[in-house]
Structure 1
Amino acid sequence: MLYEGVLTKMQTEFSNPIAYYLVFENSFLNLNQLLGKELEIVHQGYQCLECGKKKKIFRQGFCYDCFMGSASAGDWIMKPELSTAHLDIEDRDLDYEKKVQLQPHIVYLALSSEVKVGVTRKTQVPTRWIDQGAIQAIPIVEVPNRYLAGITEVALKSLYADKTNWQKMLKGEIPAVDLISERNGLKYVIPKEVQEYYHPESNDLYELQYPVLEYPKKVTSLNLDKSPNFSGKLMGVKGQYLIFEDGTVFNIRTYEGYVVRISL
């Protein structure tokens, strides 16, 4: 069977294990059902997720022009502490920025390769943790805007990483950590203006399991620009990665905006 379309991040369902779907314009793939089967992935071209033009992807699914100009690619996306919509200050498009920034955000601890701190919109719980390949996650605070979440994350970076070691995550090399205890000691580490939002609950630890038949001992990233034709047996899906029998891993997020053909 053949499936063709533009890659976008896999859609997920919070189940046991997590359910994964690759969704194209006219079809979709349930990846859980493909474990243990051979897939062929062929790179056919590009299509910017913002403007829809067949232009080479620069970053995050955008062509260069859209990445440099789109409101959804502003610096505050990766650095929430740079958010200014709460001050009525525009970066690229104030209406868009208010819509995204002025809504409840969660600052959390997640266990993906080691304990990391992160920020996500409340509406993205638990999707954000699934996308990172976390096996556990716990909220620290819920705040009313992205700026407050950002300064909280900055304060906690002295204690925790803010990025996942993707190789350890994909190999399943994850230490045992008591996230509840970690979270419960942070009240006076977070900024004073955020402490009023600190209300830990005893039952808010998320546990996540992934559809993986076998974890690889070594991992090698598939680069579609250098290797536009790849085939292998799918052994698992974790985070936004496909894991193949030979240790090849394919990061779907890296190749958003790439046009592919997948053969089963």
Structure 2
Amino acid sequence: MKTIASGFLRMMDHQKIDPVNYIWVWSEYESTSSEKQEARIQENSDILNCIGKKVKLEFTGRIRCVSCGRITKKSFNQGNCFTCFQTLAQNDLCILRPDTCHFHLGTCREPDWGEDQCFRPHTVYLANSSAIKVGITKENPVSNRWVDQGAMQGIPMVEVSSRRDAGIIEKELSKVLSDRTTWQKMVSGDPEPIDLTEKKREFVQRIEELDLDLDYKVASQNEPTTILYPIQSYPKKIQSLSPEKNAVIEDILTGIKGQYLLFESGVINIRAYGGYEAILSAE
């Protein structure tokens, strides 16, 4: 087999959406030292040429924090060492639950980071990944977030000026809509198409009726975006593969969807193992 890449994993990047052109991303470091180090980000688009071929993904057992670059024995929140998990604003609970943002209380872990990341335009959207769901993102274009989630349709609903405002709207809508993707369904087949144009009208009206005292504007896009993924076939068995149980994955790569590599024998979520050192090879 030919080695395509070796280094510490990062979430896959992409270009286009018809179909999605995935890019394999990893980090390299100046030395093997366990001290704090800056990462050199490397990219390779050969992963697309591997679909339909036997691929070998081998984990070495080493993990480096995606934030500080130090060697860590255990990964927290998709690639952080315990110190970064405990101290960085990007790992605070309010990132998972934006409506609980506490910046206005003066208790943000990193006020400069919070001001830069959380007080910028955010979009509340509908997407069809495993089924219809509501979500928020600061990504521009919004489709970047939909690809990351493996959504096959998406439509922006409303735009707001902060992450907290987006989170408040999302929380209200999550009382009647899921705000999660069921990964097992997402990697097992295409979801049934949904009339997201009509659903947008329905839920924008619901937002207006909630009278949340928030400044927002209705997104101008009224037709859903359709996303196609490079998939030859879905796995015959929906089994989650992991470095702890599968240090070496050697199988036919049948497709990529969201941040998942789809193999005949199961799937692996690359984003979940950010910072893990791996060697990617293919026939």
Aligned pairs for 1:11-22 (under 5 A) are 11-22=13-24
Give me the whole-angstrom Cα distance separating, in 1, the residues matched to 2:116 and 2:141. Answer: 15
Counterpart contact for 2:240–2:268, Cα < 8 Å: yes
Q: Which moved more, 1:109-118 or 1:25-34?
A: 25-34
Q: CA deviation at 1:173?
A: 4.6
Q: CA deviation at 1:5?
A: 0.5
Q: CA deviation at 1:200?
A: 4.7
Question: Cα deviation per residue 1:105-124 (whole Å; 9 max; x = unaligned)?
Answer: 00011000110010110435
Give me the whole-angstrom Cα distance separating, in 2, the residues matched to 1:49 and 1:143. Answer: 30
Alignment correspondent of 1:30: 46
Match of 2:121 among 104, 110, 133: 104
Counterpart contact for 1:211–1:238, Cα < 8 Å: yes
Alignment correspondent of 1:201: 220
Match of 2:163 among 140, 146, 149: 146
Specify the SS of the correspondent of 1:77: helix
The structure-2 alpha-carbon separation of the partners of 1:88 and 1:122, relative to structure 1 and needing over 3 Å to count, comes to farther
Question: Cα deviation per residue 1:184-212 (whole Å; 9 max; x = unaligned)?
Answer: 01234224246752425354421100000
Match of 2:174 among 140, 150, 157: 157
Match of 1:250 among 247, 268, 271: 268
Specify the SS of the correspondent of 1:189: helix
Counterpart contact for 1:120–1:128, Cα < 8 Å: yes
Would you say 1:66 and 2:84 are equivalent positions? yes
The structure-2 alpha-carbon separation of the partners of 1:196 and 1:49, relative to structure 1 and needing over 3 Å to count, comes to closer
Counterpart contact for 2:154–2:226, Cα < 8 Å: yes
Would you say 1:133 and 2:135 are equivalent positions? no
Alignment correspondent of 1:187: 204
Match of 1:90 among 97, 107, 122: 107
Specify the SS of the correspondent of 1:108: strand
Specify the SS of the correspondent of 2:72: coil
State percent identity of aligned pairs: 35
Alignment correspondent of 1:5: 7
Q: CA deviation at 1:217?
A: 3.8
AA of the residue aligned to 1:19:
N
The structure-2 alpha-carbon separation of the partners of 1:84 and 1:146, relative to structure 1 and needing over 3 Å to count, comes to same
| Ranges in structure 2 where 5+ consecutive residues have no aligned partner | 29-41
Deviant stretches of 4+, over 6 Å? none
Specify the SS of the correspondent of 1:185: helix
What TM-score comes out, normalization by structure 2 length?
0.87
The structure-2 alpha-carbon separation of the partners of 1:14 and 1:165, relative to structure 1 and needing over 3 Å to count, comes to same
Taking only aligned residues, the RMSD between alpha carbons, in angstroms, comes to: 1.8
Alignment correspondent of 1:222: 241
AA of the residue aligned to 1:76:
C
